Amino acid sequence: MKKIFFTLLSLLVCDAQVFAQNNRALQITNRNIVGIWQLESSKEASGWGTTYRFYSDGRFIFQESQMMAYYINPIINFGGRYNVKGDSLFTRVEYYHEKTNAKIIRGDELSGEWELSGGKIIKNVQLSVEESAKLENISLKDGIMTFSIYGNKYYKVSNSPEGYDK
């Protein structure tokens, strides 16, 4: 009876150790977050979807979908500094790029129903405080790492923030 008990106990301890190791392997860190993370898709396309670009020096850029951002959204992207601590992503937005003095005109089949025409892109400085978001549902499947922020699932599509490097 003691032998069975100790055998079961040792199996439980081994399972707990494997579980702990697997959970450690699936943490997002300042090192493995570097690259491009795309919202809702791991597929390459002619234009990026909504993305985070994390750089090894602690900078980040957030950009709405390239396929839609330039058409009617005057905010092109924004960026600043980031830091991963435990299961949280801390960000501080420092600037944003905005299209100004543009006119809203009818679009076409490619751009959509409406688009911004003309104008120029300017960089605006923003003073902000550090904010945090919990990194959830971290997983690794078929070599692709994912995480969720506020229910939005991001797929790591490149290890380089400058582009695809698969």
Please report, in angstroms and rounded to a whole number, the separation of the first and last CA atoms in the chain.
54
d(CA 66, CA 89): 24
Tokens linked to 6: 């100790």
- Over residues 17-75, the pLDDT tens digits come to 434 444 455 899 999 999 999 999 888 666 678 899 999 999 999 998 866 655 678 88
Residue of higher predicted confidence among 163 and 100: 100
d(CA 58, CA 105): 38
Number of H helices and E strands in the chain, helices first, is 2, 12
Average pLDDT of span 90-115: 87
Question: Closest Cα to residue 137, out of 121, 151, 126?
Answer: 151
1 band by pLDDT with thresholds 50, 70 and 90: low
Half-sphere exposure in the Cβ direction for 100 (13 Å, CA): 7
Helices (H), ranges, 26-161:
69-72
Question: Closest Cα to residue 30, out of 75, 86, 110?
Answer: 86
pTM (two decimals): 0.76
Q: Is the pLDDT score of 138 beyond 50?
A: yes
Q: What is the DSSP letter of 151?
A: T
Q: Is the pLDDT score of 11 beyond 50?
A: no
Average pLDDT of span 105-122: 82
Provide CB contacts within 8 A for 141, sequence distance 6+: none
72 burial class (0-12, 13-18, 19+ CB within 10 angstroms)? middle
12 band by pLDDT with thresholds 50, 70 and 90: very low
Helices (H), ranges, 37-166:
69-72
Residue 62 has phi, psi (to 5 degrees) of -110, 130
